[in-house]
Amino acid sequence: MDTAGVSSADISSWIATGRKGEVYLAFFNLSEQKTPIYAHRSDLSKAFTGKRIRSCKGQELWSGKYVATKKGSISTDVGVHGCALFVLNCK
């Protein structure tokens, strides 16, 4: 996971797979400023043993915003001490 202008100590992330193959991805912003956080396809591939991910699409649960991998990553701005939770379907 990457950030722009914030140390990695100020962010955390979590990834897991669901029973139906969906990917759950959470970003946590521990900093004192709104922060863009990115997850690359290679980060998402870690949820699958031996599988390469070409693309993902899904929804951020609390905002309802639909997302898809763009230029190989998923990103969102996370508010001060905020979090984002995505449910993704990846191919």
What is the pLDDT at residue 7?
57
What's the order of all strands across the beta sheet hosting 2-3? 2-3, 35-40, 73-78
What is the pLDDT at residue 68?
92
| C-alpha span between 42 and 56 (Å, rounded) | 12
Global pTM value: 0.86
> For residue 8, what is the domain's CATH number?
2.60.40.1180
Q: Which residue has the tokens 């591939």?
A: 45
Mean pLDDT over each residue of the chain, to the nearest integer: 87
DSSP state of 65: -
Residues of the chain predicted below pLDDT 50: 2-6
**Domain residue limits at 72:** 2-90
- Domains in the chain: how many in total? 1
